[in-house]
């Protein structure tokens, strides 16, 4: 009887092992594994970019200028004209009725905008406008015939035929073609956080040379362009 009982127990044990193997094979092992999984604790820390000990964040400086072509240069007349044809220089007097030997003048100002870094500026481009297209109202022949000169540091009162030019610095020499670039660069003072920088006075003088004899230039107009630029980050 004892032998039979032992045989029965062996048979039962073998049966249980077979059932366990069958359960494992059927995939219920996932349940067994889950019974031993511990819950995870999560704690996150985020950071962001700052600048210095205060509340500032990383950013860029302001580096920009603006123009005023309307003497006597009221605050409301300051504008930004970054694309052609830009602001209109007012050449006076009788710039539309030039005769050989006539010279007309245009004062204007440039300054750094509020909050801007100090700038170093150059007259970097000088060309005939493409708007309007070349024709009677934008004559290439007249553009080529005209001459100009320019000064830095010459205020509006002296930007005239009778004005004292001795206080200015030559930017473009006398009798230069209209496509002549500036010979020197010049600084613009930095702007404060709430105020623009001190303006720089400039003066352009445009002349139809006294020796001009080409009568085909009569009744023509022209649109010359000049670009002032300041570059940083090179």
CA distances from 227 to 14, 79, 125, 129, 143 (A): 97, 15, 5, 11, 16
What three-state secondary structure class fits 26? Answer: helix
Which pTM value belongs to this model?
0.79
Report the percent of the chain where pLDDT is more than 70: 82
**Pairing mode, if any, of strands 200-207 and 103-112?**
antiparallel
- Give pLDDT tens digits for 130-179: 999 999 899 999 999 999 999 999 999 999 999 999 999 999 999 999 99
120, 187 Cβ separation under 8 angstroms: yes
Tens place of pLDDT per residue across the chain (234 aa): 444 555 545 455 555 555 545 444 444 444 445 555 667 888 988 888 888 888 888 988 899 999 999 999 999 999 999 999 999 999 986 788 999 999 999 999 999 999 999 999 999 999 999 999 999 899 999 999 999 999 999 999 999 999 999 999 999 999 999 999 999 999 999 999 899 999 999 999 999 999 999 999 999 999 999 999 998 765
Separation between Cα atoms, residue 163 and residue 27, nearest integer Å: 101
């Amino acid at each position: 009887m004892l032998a039979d009982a032992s045989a029965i127990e062996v048979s039962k044990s073998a049966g249980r092992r077979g059932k366990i193997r069958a359960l494992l094979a059927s995939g219920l092992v996932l349940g067994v594994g889950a019974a031993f999984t511990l819950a995870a604790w999560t704690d996150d820390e985020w950071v962001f970019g700052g600048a210095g000990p205060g509340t500032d964040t990383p950013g860029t400086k302001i580096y920009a200028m603006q123009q005023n072509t309307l003497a006597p240069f009221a605050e409301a007349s300051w504008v930004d004209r970054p694309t052609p044809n830009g602001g209109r220089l007012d050449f006076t007097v009788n710039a539309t009725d030039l005769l050989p030997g006539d010279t007309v003048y245009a004062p204007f100002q440039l300054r750094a905008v509020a909050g801007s870094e100090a700038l170093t500026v150059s007259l970097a481009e000088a060309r005939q406008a493409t708007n309007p297209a070349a024709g009677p109202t934008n004559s290439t022949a007249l553009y080529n015939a005209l001459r100009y000169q320019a000064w830095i540091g010459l205020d509006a009162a002296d930007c005239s035929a009778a004005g004292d030019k001795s206080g200015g610095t030559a930017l473009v020499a006398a009798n230069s073609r209209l496509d002549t670039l500036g010979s020197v660069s010049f600084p613009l003072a930095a702007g404060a956080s709430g105020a623009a920088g001190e303006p720089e006075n400039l003066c352009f003088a445009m002349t139809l040379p006294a020796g001009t004899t080409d009568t085909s230039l009569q009744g023509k107009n022209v649109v010359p362009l000049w670009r002032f630029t300041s570059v940083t980050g090179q």
